[in-house]
Amino acid sequence: TILSEYCRKAIGINIFENIEIYQGVLIDFLIEDSYEKKWKSSTLIVSIILRTSQGSLRLKLHDSLGEIFLKENPKIGNLIQIIPTTQIVKTIGKIKSFESSIKNSEQMFTCFPKGNVLKKKSIVQKISLLDLDYANCDFFKKKKYEKNEITEQLRQEVDCLVSKYILEKKAEIIFGILFIDEAHILDPESLFFLTKLSEYTYSPLIVLATNRETNFNFEKVKSPLFPLEF
């Protein structure tokens, strides 16, 4: 339901991930085609060499990553960055003294960035429970979405996955606030549904607001608009 979606959108998740980043000056690259007789298909392979002050490293970019590299169209001597997990290839800049450094072996490494080609970095991905629902919905992956495609079973599977990540210290959950204005228009079924949602493990703080008059009588609060539990 719409209420379920808004509740899950109000729950944030920080996912901790260690990624590998390849960064260096592009020394050379070669486009290859690997033909498989069994399947009668060819696979695009782009072989590249990246160099830093600590040395060089040869990489093979297969299929989609190779296509992204060719689309970026980096030149020899460009400083590039490749992140395989997120399929990112980008040109950071150009080394001006690259050609002269190749001719002069004494200054071979003066123009190259410091460190190794392969670097490991810890990142935090900030998403919501609703984002995970979408990501785990096969129908949504096809860029088509209908409300009935995200089932309660799918939400339970996502909750189990989040619980597993939290136990493994790969993620942390951020409880948000779901603010509902003009709450007097909610019907009893919706209010009951919100009550049940508030009992779930992953539930935001639910705040209902209304501009309708509410009568206060000492310790008793009289309001014909909401059930007594509200």
Q: Which domains does the chain have, with CATH numbers?
A: 18-123 (2.40.50.360), 179-222 (no CATH)
d(CA 113, CA 117) in angstroms, rounded, equals 9
Pairing between strand 78-83 and 55-62?
Answer: unpaired
Mean pLDDT to the nearest integer, 172-196 = 88
Most confident of the following: 103-107, 166-170, 181-185, 218-222: 166-170
pLDDT higher than threshold 50 for residue 72: yes
Mean pLDDT to the nearest integer, 60-64 = 89
162 — pLDDT class (breaks 50, 70, 90): very high
**Of 56-65, 187-196, 219-228, which gets the smallest average pLDDT?**
219-228
Mean pLDDT to the nearest integer, 110-126 = 86
Residue of 177 and 187 predicted with greater confidence: 177
Residue of 101 and 175 predicted with greater confidence: 175
113 — pLDDT class (breaks 50, 70, 90): confident
d(CA 134, CA 148) in angstroms, rounded, equals 12
Pairing between strand 41-52 and 78-83?
Answer: unpaired
Structure tokens given for 78: 């460009």
Q: What is the pLDDT of residue 106?
A: 44
pLDDT higher than threshold 70 for residue 206: yes
Mean pLDDT to the nearest integer, 131-147 = 65
Q: What is the pLDDT of residue 124?
A: 92
Residues sharing a CB contact under 8 Å with residue 181, sequence separation 6 or more, in sequence order: 209, 210
Q: What is the pLDDT of residue 108?
A: 43
Q: CA nearest 13: which of 202, 205, 207?
A: 202
Average pLDDT value for the chain: 80
Query: Which pLDDT tens digit goes with each residue over 21-52?
Result: 999 999 999 988 654 544 555 678 899 999 99
Q: What is the pLDDT of residue 228?
A: 54
Residue 101: CA count within 13 A, CB half-sphere: 16
Mean pLDDT to the nearest integer, 53-63 = 90
Mean pLDDT to the nearest integer, 206-221 = 65
Beta-bridged to residue 94, according to DSSP, are 78
pLDDT higher than threshold 50 for residue 110: no
Which long-range contacts does 31-38 make (Cβ < 8 Å, 24+ apart)? 31/66, 31/70
pLDDT higher than threshold 70 for residue 99: no
Q: 124 vs 16, 17, 19, 173, CA distance in Å? A: 5, 6, 10, 12
Q: What is the pLDDT of residue 145?
A: 47
